[in-house]
Structure 1
Amino acid sequence: MSSQNQILFQRAIQSFHVGDFSAAEQALLSYLGATPNHFDAFHLLAIIYANLDRWSEANECYKKALQINPSSVAALSNWGSCLTRLGQNDQALNALERALTLEPKLAALWFNTANILCDLGRFERASQYYEKALYFNPDYFQAHNNYGKALFANGQFNEALANYNKALELNPDFAEAWSNKGITLQELKRYAEAIACYDKSLCLNPGYAEAWSNKGITLQELKRFDEALNTYNKALELNPDFAEAWSNKGNTLNELKRYAEAIACYDKSLCLNPGYAEAWSNKGAILNMLKLYPEAIIQYEKILSIDPNIEWALGDLIDSRMKVCFWDGYQSSIKMLVEKVNKLQKIINPFKLLALQDDARIQKKCAEIYSLDSFPQAHTFGKISKKYKHPKIRIAYFSADYREHPTAQLTAELFELHDRSRFELFAFSFYDSAQDSKYRTRIKNSFENFYEVENKTDQEIAQLARDLEIDIAIDLGGYTQFARTGIFACRAAPIQVNYLGYPGTMGASYMDYIVADPTVIPESSQKFFSEKVVYLPDTYQPNDRKRQVATKVFSKSELGLPDQGFIFCCFNNNFKINPEVLDSWARILSQVPGSVLWLLEDNPSAKNNLMAELEKRDIASDRLIFAGRLQTSEHLARHAAADLFLDTWPYNAHTTASDALWAGLPVLTRMGQTFASRVAASLLNAIDLPELITSTSEEYEALAVKLATHPEKLQEFKERLKLNRLTKPLFNTELYTKHLETAYLKMYERYQADLAPGHIFV
């Protein structure tokens, strides 16, 4: 090396050390012009470009340096960091793995490699690498912190907490570890401790935007929405480009039903980070809830284009498509769902699966995956060791649906008829009390104790139930909209029951019983339910005999129906209609000239898609007539204009079947293998019309055609229905109530006798 080149190299080093990167760069470029194979010069130039955020140029210099000296641990390590900045994590991992083979005892190398593995979502392997880093340096507090993050991502919350505690023992002023500890305590539902951790973090670093945002999430969990918004606003003051905080703020606004503002927050988040899948998902969920299904579909498709393996997104997409009857790729989508459930992947909410397939084993597995992930058993309060002894058994019904809702329409009279000499009734309502209706008023009046708990946390509600010494807690919602499964995960009462609202297993160990009957859950199917089965003798479903059928007589023309021709109808929600069902309906229509099919109009997209699908099956779309929504009494009255109700499968008519039978309209069903696909059969058995139950599409279609073309046969069923309506068990609410109360007594007696839950036959 000439003395002049030596001077250039030394000048570059000196300029680098004083932070004059431009001068250092120029000196190194001149030096390399004369000495093109100098490892140290290329390595230093790469470091300079990295300091200047010129990552592509740094990458090229690292590669040239490593061509000269492939065994440089420092260059390999620095190159790995550069590659991560370029988004080339797999290549970065290869570089650091090479460095580890050369220097396997360097804790920082294990640490950096573990960080890349976390970025790649390989948390189990990352955990092993953090353990190696800590083996070589037990006091490496940053490694304890990041190890905690990997364990957290893998759902190992207690283990994550132990690592954060160790990091804070080594460095009590580590603000990030305090914030991370707070997130973990939140997952463990230790909210007060979580808030204290965020406050400690923010005391150490008031400008820590992420800690403000994390605190907002916990405040939202505590239903302290205004405080949550304030913390998000603080985070966004500190970092206006904080995409996650914008999305979190949107979630809180959604809880406050400020939907337009929530969507604006999600849009801001996505403008900042178009690849932020969670914001796409949050926006999709709110659009779906607002019944803006085509827009929701776009969100879910975007999520899956970003990450095809994002949790729950495929199920949400298929569900949104079903709500508009968009069936492209239907069979392949269902096959994919089943494959992913079998692989224990987090793919779909169990309620959304009910309408998509008829396999009770898959439904149970799906429910187990969902409950374990979304509502794992909480141990906040511990077991209920005390056996309550009261003059009356205390029964509590938990629901979001004490309003104009099928659950309320079915249960209103049941609540009124409960035997007050033996039972004390409690209701816990999760729905906004401002949304009053005649059903809500009627139900409130039927309970001695009615608690409005929408703004309480799951823990607070569970604690209230324990303070009230509830004996039997009954979940009327399951996994349906607005349900609060987390209450039962906290063990609100010694006996917990899955009843009515959700037609399937919860897949959760903390739910003791499911109320059923021999039709919806044959004894051979008990293995597909995590709960013990309580068998009522006639049907699991209650009914309200006080439901009024309006006296108004609708003309067919008034309803948009033809004056002549057979009227098939189905007032089920459109998401229950699938290609196989429409195939059967098309074949039925083709064999009954002049007939029409009268459906509920859920949304314009579903209507248009169903008409187009019928045309594909060579049936004119004008043979589909759509009914708008009416008040319940008038809706019941218009059933008189129809001749036969055609059921759907694998998700049958439930309340809609009861509506039809109460209004005097026969229901033809196809019975399947799952609870949801056997409900209409249960109702028909309970009203003694088993001949209207079929088991295959061929039987279903043949009987539909026979009844449409043999009016005398259909009239026989109508006469039997008229006779049976008030004489058979289906609408005998007094008898039903006695059977259900007997079931409660048997559950209670088993518990008081120290017997584990067991199948019960009433």
Structure 2
Amino acid sequence: MGASLSDLGKLSAAESTFTKALELEPENEIVLYNLGLTQLHLGKLPAAKKTLERLLLINPNNSQAANDLGVVLSQQGQLDKAKLLFKQTIVKNPSADALYNLGLTHSKQGKTSLAVKYYQLAVDKNPRHARAITSLYEYYRNRCDWAKTKEFSQILNSLNSPDPGETPFINITRSDNPQDNLVIARVWSNSLYYEPVKFNYPNHHSRLKIGYATDGFRDFPTTHNLLEVLRSHNKDKYEIFAFSWGPNDKSIWRKKVIEAVDHFIEIDSLSDPETAKLINQLQIDILVDLKGHTQNNRLGIFAARPAPVQVNYLGYPGTTGAKFMDYIVADKIVIPPSAQKYYTEKVIYLPHCYRPTDTRFKIHPPPLQPSRSFIFASFNSSYKIEEAMFKAWLNILKRTAKTVLWIWVEDNPVRQKLTAYTKKYGVDPARITYIHEMDKPQHLARLSRANLALDTYPTNGHTTTVDCLWAGVPVITMAGRNFASRVSSSALTAAGLPQLITKNLKSYADLAVELAAHPDRLPPVDKQSILFDTKSYTRDLEKAFQKLWTMR
């Protein structure tokens, strides 16, 4: 009975059934295990821990229970205890799941080499262990090891499993095929456990209550882009809530968000069902998810349907594939009308670029050297640099004189790989400068010295592209088929620079070469363009929210 309820998603009823069954058979291992697993899925980590520990006292050799207890401890942040449990489990039963979980725990502690070791052992044990394969793919992609990246990408393509392993975020950044993106997103969203609570929704308030939810209310791109919107909201018409979890970096950014909203609510200590109940009690009208399928998301909150209108916005450039997400905020470039069929959400279009911009910094570039080279720049993360694009960059350098390329790469092994590849391709490595991270004002000042930014594909720059434009640096992009590969095209169009959007690598490289040869043809960036008008953007966003509320 309990298992049937669990399969139907009725987890609280299943938990109650298993608990009653234990009153009759207190040492029934199957019932104890199912109860612990149900509590884990409900997000009741202390209860799950207690139940699984009780089971292991009865049978210390139950490796499945030990593995799941390790997962509970890892989710609670007790990483050393989790590792010890996984290691003990592996001695008794070296399953692929336990090996993978040990690797994942090492990864959470920043011990990447050990993480990769155990991911590989998991794949050796089970060559079709989707999550371990995905983790290896991500590791090699981040390090620009393109041979290994291709190997694991092909394995991912060959998998035909109910659990794709590959996260929706990995998929949208690996492939610009929107149909594939939709399939993967649906699988993950459909796998979310949630309570089918029947919440009551209010009809209307004097002010529309809008709740933004993210772990990014800190020194992070989400806040960099959204802060001025939060400040610009019409507080006479809208009551703004910020639901925050994750690290409190005590930065000025977090402080400014707290000052900008009406209510800043930390939900770290609450489970997803508890948070959903709180949101409903607060009578939030429109609940806005700023995470989607990115790391540390809490889509489980949205799965419980705590608000009458739920929106996918800004943080995730793709569909959630979720029945419980009503709308996605976009523009007609990132989601052309013909592409709406690849989104489970209804598309609500803003008139210009879907994303806000961070325009608060005045840029003071350092003095220029009189005889400097023409500077190409790419400040995107290394995972976005694919082999075909890097070859295109090297080809551009080969075809131009007195040009250099700045790339933001902090990791020495990645620098070494790119340097070796550059030599092999016949380009002097001295023409590439590896840039380190800086605080945003210093970063923008440095960036303003570049002549032309080169975008990545299939994952475009998002904040990176807008930062380049705000620093006065035009950006060449290549438009793809999915949302993530069309973000720069949206920003460039709003900035009045559609001539910098290309359709293939040849036209991309040809345009870069032409502009390097004729710097006088570089189009100026108009900082008065609609892209940088945050107040108008906020009014458009509010009109969209008002429309959603009216259409509910």
Cα distance change, pair 165–486 in 1 and its aligned pair in 2 (3 A): closer
**Which of 536, 544, 548 is the matching residue for 1:743?**
544
**Which of 237, 240, 247 is the matching residue for 1:422?**
237
In structure 2, distance between residues paired with 1:291 and 1:578: 24
Bigger mean CA offset, 412-421 vs 600-609 = 600-609
- Contact 1:223–1:455 at 8 Å: present in 2 too? no
Structure 1 vs Structure 2: percent identity of aligned residues?
A: 32
Name the amino acid aligned to 2:337: E
Cα distance change, pair 337–743 in 1 and its aligned pair in 2 (3 A): same
Length-normalised TM-score, structure 2: 0.91
For 2:146, what is the secondary structure of its paired residue?
coil
In structure 2, distance between residues paired with 1:263 and 1:700: 48
Structure whose residues are more often helix by fraction: 1
Residue 441, structure 1, aligned to residue 255, structure 2: yes
Q: CA deviation at 1:500?
A: 0.2
In structure 2, distance between residues paired with 1:657 and 1:511: 28
Report the RMSD for the aligned CA atoms in angstroms: 3.1
Residue 655, structure 1, aligned to residue 471, structure 2: no
**Which of 730, 736, 741 is the matching residue for 2:531?**
730
Q: CA deviation at 1:402?
A: 0.2
Residue 282, structure 1, aligned to residue 98, structure 2: no
**Which of 334, 359, 362 is the matching residue for 1:520?**
334
User: 1:380 maps to what in 2?
Assistant: 196
Cα distance change, pair 264–541 in 1 and its aligned pair in 2 (3 A): same
User: 2:173 maps to what in 1?
Assistant: 355
Q: CA deviation at 1:657?
A: 0.6
In structure 2, distance between residues paired with 1:163 and 1:575: 42
Name the amino acid aligned to 1:733: T
- Contact 1:223–1:456 at 8 Å: present in 2 too? no
In structure 1, distance between residues paired with 2:13 and 2:307: 29
Name the amino acid aligned to 1:186: Q
- Contact 1:325–1:575 at 8 Å: present in 2 too? yes
Name the amino acid aligned to 2:218: R
User: 2:134 maps to what in 1?
Assistant: 315
Residue 179, structure 1, aligned to residue 1, structure 2: no
In structure 2, distance between residues paired with 1:169 and 1:350: 38
The superposition leaves residues 409-435 of structure 1 with CA deviations (integer Å, 9 ceiling, x where unpaired) of: 0000000000011111111001233x2
For 1:390, what is the secondary structure of its paired residue?
coil
For 2:98, what is the secondary structure of its paired residue?
helix
Length-normalised TM-score, structure 1: 0.67
For 2:173, what is the secondary structure of its paired residue?
coil
Residue 541, structure 1, aligned to residue 355, structure 2: yes
The superposition leaves residues 59-115 of structure 1 with CA deviations (integer Å, 9 ceiling, x where unpaired) of: xxxxxxxxxxxxxxxxxxxxxxxxxxxxxxxxxxxxxxxxxxxxxxxxxxxxxxxxx
For 2:24, what is the secondary structure of its paired residue?
coil
In structure 1, distance between residues paired with 2:15 and 2:258: 49
- Contact 1:313–1:348 at 8 Å: present in 2 too? no
For 1:312, what is the secondary structure of its paired residue?
helix
Name the amino acid aligned to 2:530: P
Structure 1: 5+ residue stretches without partners: 1-143, 190-220, 557-561, 752-762
Cα distance change, pair 749–704 in 1 and its aligned pair in 2 (3 A): same
Q: CA deviation at 1:711?
A: 1.5
In structure 1, distance between residues paired with 2:310 and 2:475: 33
User: 1:93 maps to what in 2?
Assistant: none
Name the amino acid aligned to 1:279: A
Residue 393, structure 1, aligned to residue 208, structure 2: yes
- Contact 1:569–1:645 at 8 Å: present in 2 too? yes
Q: CA deviation at 1:288?
A: 3.6
User: 1:129 maps to what in 2?
Assistant: none
Q: CA deviation at 1:511?
A: 0.2
Residue 457, structure 1, aligned to residue 271, structure 2: yes
Q: Within 5 Å, which residues of 2 pair with 1:89-108?
A: none
User: 1:266 maps to what in 2?
Assistant: 86
- Contact 2:18–2:35 at 8 Å: present in 1 too? no
In structure 1, distance between residues paired with 2:440 and 2:22: 66
Q: CA deviation at 1:544?
A: 2.4
- In the alignment of these two chains, the number of paired residues is 551
- Contact 1:474–1:497 at 8 Å: present in 2 too? yes
Name the amino acid aligned to 2:178: A
**Which of 280, 296, 316 is the matching residue for 1:502?**
316
In structure 1, distance between residues paired with 2:286 and 2:118: 41
- Contact 1:573–1:600 at 8 Å: present in 2 too? yes
Q: CA deviation at 1:334?
A: 3.1
Q: CA deviation at 1:292?
A: 4.2
For 1:641, what is the secondary structure of its paired residue?
coil
Cα distance change, pair 414–468 in 1 and its aligned pair in 2 (3 A): same
Q: CA deviation at 1:187?
A: 6.6
Residue 570, structure 1, aligned to residue 388, structure 2: no
Structure 2: 5+ residue stretches without partners: none
Bigger mean CA offset, 660-669 vs 518-527 = 660-669
**Which of 439, 446, 460 is the matching residue for 1:631?**
439
Q: Within 5 Å, which residues of 2 pair with 1:141-152?
A: 148=3
